[in-house]
Amino acid sequence: MDKNAVCHQCGRTVDASFIYCPWCGTVSEELVSFALHMDSVFSGSFGGVLPEEDASRIARMENTLGTLEQELTLLMSEAHLT
């Protein structure tokens, strides 16, 4: 990947030349350059209130993280039994 982009739908980094996000299928017009995305993260322009789509995305990520944590705990407990 020479140039990267970030998918606003799923948040994953993808090759900027892709027409669709390979992870969620979002059309490339909705992809933004990785550098631009990172600039907005670190620019200090955060007003303290998350837009609804950002709050929803964070909630989905928290849910996924919780599920992964449960699966890892189960996997580790099974590994200790054998």
pLDDT reported for residue 6: 81
* β-bridge pairing 13-15 and 31-33: unpaired
pLDDT confidence tier of residue 8, bands split at 50, 70 and 90: confident
Distance of alpha carbon 76 from the chain centroid: 25
Q: Give the C-alpha distances (Å, rounded to integers) separating 57 from 46, 51, 63.
A: 16, 10, 10
Query: Range of 78's domain?
Result: 50-82
Encoded tokens for 81: 């039994």
pLDDT reported for residue 49: 64
Question: Is 68 in the same domain as 37?
Answer: no
Question: Is 35 in the same domain as 10?
Answer: yes
pLDDT reported for residue 39: 64
29-74 pLDDT tens trace:
655 655 666 666 666 555 566 678 888 888 999 999 999 999 999 9
Q: How far apart are CA 12 and CA 25, in angstroms?
A: 11
Number of domains into which the chain is organized? 2
Task: Annotate 3-33 with DSSP letters as a single string.
Answer: SEEEETTT--EEETT-SB-TTT--BGGGEEE
Question: Is 41 in the same domain as 55?
Answer: no
